[in-house]
Amino acid sequence: MLITCPYCGPRDVIEFTYQGDGNRQRPQPASQNLDAWNAYVYDRLNPAGDHNEIWQHSGGCRAHLRVVRNTLTHEISSTAFARGDHNSVARHRAEDKP
Amino acid sequence: MVERQSPLEPVLHPGSHGDFEHGVEIILSETRPGSILQLAAWPGEEKTLMAGIHTITGLTLPDGAGGGVTNGARSVFGFAPGKFTVVDEAEGLATAFADVVTPAIGTVTDLSHGRTAIRIAGPKAEWVLAKFFAIDFALPAFPIGAGRSTMHHDVFAQIQRTAADQFDIYVFRSFARSFWKALCHASEEVGYDVQ
Ligand SMILES: [Zn+2]
């Protein structure tokens, strides 16, 4: 399985660490809403198909990524920096420029 | 100044090794730079940091991920978003950057004693490195000056191409001896010189 890091380009999955379900909504740290905490810790969509995930390129640039992976085929349909503000800066691969 | 000891010392044996009767196609050496720094910009401060790198080193970083440049004595390359490795033959680079990379711009981390710099050169350099790392070492995909962050099993490596057939590899000092021996083994079948 290859994941295309927005910074490093396509890399083998061995360079990445799975950081969990990207759909989770973490409650405010001070929240005492037990239902919200329960949903954050336990509720999962478990789809047979496209799944929003967080991965870290731990064996490369170490950036955290938003990845959409198909749980049936392992096809990666999109990758982006989890911290969106880097997308606006000139951080795309130099070779991709026209 | 304190004499710096190399972790490669017990295993670095100058001379020709492996199957060199038909010629030497790999040259391995330790470059022992005086300064190895990691510079990181806060989001939005990348251009300011790149300008600061130019002020101190005279090197102009190209735009784009993994872009880099070398002039022989000094080298710089991007290895992550907003982060750069800067290397100088001379010691004292961290002190020079302290005034330019202010806390408002980013951070300076001195890794001079934490990394070991290994140079692999020769017509088979790409071929040997391809045994270690699952990245494209061909010149169009990995231009001169550019940097890459990757790993060989658990050995995290930053690689800069410093000439058409030459790469500088920065590994953790604690992994350096083992990685050096692995490089030697991988180079045996094409014949290699240690300098
Ligand atoms: Zn990456």
pLDDT tens per residue, range B6-25: 999 999 999 999 999 989 99
User: Which of chain A's residues have a Cβ under 8 Å away from the Cβ of B152?
Assistant: none
Cβ <8 Å between A63 and B80: yes
Q: Which of B66, B143, B156 has its CB closest to that of A59? A: B156
Q: Extract the tokens encoding B129.
A: 């490195």
pLDDT value for A73: 96
Q: Is A13 on the interface with B (CB under 8 A)?
A: no
Report the greatest alpha carbon distance in chain B.
Answer: 57
pLDDT value for B4: 83
Cβ <8 Å between B148 and A90: no
Flag the least confident range among A1-5, A85-89, B104-108, B117-121. Answer: A85-89
**What range does the domain containing A8 cover?**
2-93
The pLDDT of B77-93, averaged and rounded, is 96
Q: At A83, is the pLDDT very low, low, confident or very high (cuts 50, 70, 90)?
A: confident
Q: Is residue A98 part of a domain?
A: no
User: Which of chain A's residues have a Cβ under 8 Å away from the Cβ of B150?
Assistant: 8, 11, 15, 59-60
Q: Is residue A23 part of a domain?
A: yes
Please count the structural domains in chain A: 1
Q: Chain A to chain B, count of Cβ pairs less than 8 Å apart?
A: 72
Q: At B1, is the pLDDT very low, low, confident or very high (cuts 50, 70, 90)?
A: low
Is 0.95 exceeded by the ipTM?
no
Q: Is A89 on the interface with B (CB under 8 A)?
A: yes
Q: Which of A12, A63, A90 has its CB closest to that of B63? A: A90
Q: How far is CA B177 from CA B16, B26, B50, B145, in A?
A: 19, 18, 33, 25
CA B53 / ligand 1 centre spacing (Å): 22
Q: Is A85 on the interface with B (CB under 8 A)?
A: yes
The DSSP bridge partners found for residue B116 are: B171
Domain with A38 in it: what CATH number? 3.30.2270.10
pLDDT value for B14: 96
**Which residues fall within 8 angstroms of residue B8, CB to CB, at 6 or more apart?**
B30, B116, B118, B176, B177, B180
pLDDT value for B150: 97
Q: Is A63 on the interface with B (CB under 8 A)?
A: yes
- Exposed/middle/buried for A36, CB within 10 Å: 0-12, 13-18, 19+? middle
Q: Extract the tokens encoding A53.
A: 């995930």
pLDDT tens per residue, range B167-180: 999 999 999 999 99
Q: What angle do CA B115, B116, B117 make, to 5 degrees?
A: 120
Q: Is B139 on the interface with A (CB under 8 A)?
A: no
Looking at per-residue confidence, does A96 or B47 come out higher?
B47
3-state secondary structure at position A92: coil
Closest-CA residue in chain B for A89?
A: B44
Q: Is B66 on the interface with A (CB under 8 A)?
A: yes
pLDDT value for B181: 97
CA A15 / ligand 1 centre spacing (Å): 9
User: Which of chain B's residues have a Cβ under 8 Å away from the Cβ of A56?
Assistant: none
Mean residue pLDDT across chain B: 95
The pLDDT of A65-69, averaged and rounded, is 96
pLDDT tens per residue, range B109-157: 999 999 999 999 999 999 999 999 999 999 999 999 999 999 999 999 9
pLDDT value for A92: 39
Looking at per-residue confidence, does B151 or A24 come out higher?
B151
pLDDT above 50: residue B34 = yes
**Which residues fall within 8 angstroms of residue B3, CB to CB, at 6 or more apart?**
none
Q: Extract the tokens encoding A39.
A: 């949903």
pLDDT above 80: residue B28 = yes
Percent of chain B with pLDDT over 90: 95
**Structural class in CATH, domain B35-110:** alpha beta
**Structural class in CATH, domain B15-32+115-194:** alpha beta
pLDDT above 60: residue A85 = no
Q: Extract the tokens encoding B55.
A: 């002020």
Q: Is B46 on the interface with A (CB under 8 A)?
A: yes
Closest-CA residue in chain A for B156?
A: A59
The ranges assigned to domains in chain B are 15-32+115-194, 35-110
Q: Is residue A55 part of a domain?
A: yes
pLDDT above 90: residue B80 = yes
The pLDDT of A83-95, averaged and rounded, is 43
Closest-CA residue in chain B for A62?
A: B80
Nearest-angstrom CA–CA distance, B126 and B143: 12
pLDDT above 50: residue A98 = no
